[in-house]
Structure 1
Amino acid sequence: MKKSLYVILTFLVLSVGTQAQSKDEKAVAEAVANLRKGMLAGDKNILDQVTSADLSYGHSNGLLEDKATFIKVLVSGENDFVTMDVTDQTIKLVGNTAIVRHNFTAQTNNGGTPGSTKLAVLLIWQKQQGKWKLIARQATKLT
C-alpha cells in the first residue's frame, strides 16, 4: 500500500513539475497581460514600456505599424478596445526570444463605430536589458 502511494505521489509531482512555468515564461505571460492592459486603457506609458523601439505590428488586414503609430492609434482612440479576451495561449522560449501564440476576441469602438474581431495572434518577444519587449506581432482572422 505504501509503495503504491509513493508511486502515485511521485507521478503527480513529476507531472506538475513538467507543466510549471519557468521564471521567464511567467515574466513573458506578465508582459502579454500588461500589453493587453495597455491596449484596453490606451495607456501610452504601459504600451511604451512593453514594446521595443523596433516594433513591427502586423494587423490581420495586412496593415503594418511601427511603435510610434501603434501607440498613437490606441492612445487617440482611433483603435479602441472595449473588451479583449485572450485564450489558448502558448509560450515557447528560444534563448532570449519568446514565441507567444493565442486566440484573441475583442469588442471594439474604432472611430465611434462598434465592431468585433476574432484573431489568431503571433507575438515575438525579446529580452532586452532584463525586460521582455514586444518586437513583432502578426494576426490573422479566425472564422
Structure 2
Amino acid sequence: MADIDKDIQAIRDLEDRRYAAVVAGDFNAFAAACHPDLIYTHSGGVTDTLESYLEKCRSGFYTYHEIDHPITKIVVNNDVALVLGEMNAALTAGGTRKQLRNSALAVWVRDADTWKLIAYQPTPRT
C-alpha cells in the first residue's frame, strides 16, 4: 500500500473514531484525536476551541444521539489532510433536540507521526 493510501485510510479511521467518541460520550478519546489549537465551528456559526467544546460536551450542553458521516473525498497534501463529506446527526444542544444535515470540512495535520484534527466546519444543507 502506498504511503498516500495509508494516510487516507488512517484519516478515515480517525474520522470514524472521533464521531464514535462523541456519541459514546468519550470526550477523552475525542480530545486525544485533536490538535491543541483546534478550531471547531458549529453549523450555527459559533466557534469553539478544544477546551470550550469539551466543556460544553462534558457539561451536557451537547449530547449526540447518533451521527452519520459519509465521506466524499479525502485529499492529503504533505502533512495536511482535508476531509469532505457530510455530518448528519441527532443531538440535543442547550436542551433542544435537533436534526442536522450538514456538508462538512475537517482538516487534519500531521503532528510528529500522528494525525490530529485541527479544524472543523459544517455548512447546513437545505
Normalising by structure 1, report the TM-score. 0.81
Residue identity opposite 1:117 in structure 2: L
Residue identity opposite 2:7 in structure 1: D
Identical-residue share of aligned pairs (%): 27
Q: Residues 43 and 122 of structure 2 are in contact (CA less than 8 Å); yes or no, is this contact kept in structure 1? A: yes
Deviations 1:80-138 (A, max 9, x none): 11010012431100101100011111111224422211101100000112111000111
Aligned ranges for residues 52-131 of structure 1 at < 5 Å?
Answer: 52-131=35-114
Range moving further from structure 2, 61-70 or 80-89: 80-89
Query: Is 2:8 the counterpart of 1:25?
Result: yes
Unmatched tracts of structure 1, length 5 or more = 1-16
Residue correspondences, number: 124
Shift of residue 42, structure 1, vs aligned partner: 2.2
Please identify the structure whose Cα radius of gyration is greater.
1
User: Which residue of 2 is the match for residue 51 of structure 1?
Assistant: 34
Q: Distance in 2 between matches of 1:128 and 1:42?
A: 25
Q: Which has the higher helix share?
A: 1
Q: Distance in 2 between matches of 1:96 and 1:24?
A: 10
Q: Which has the higher strand share?
A: 2
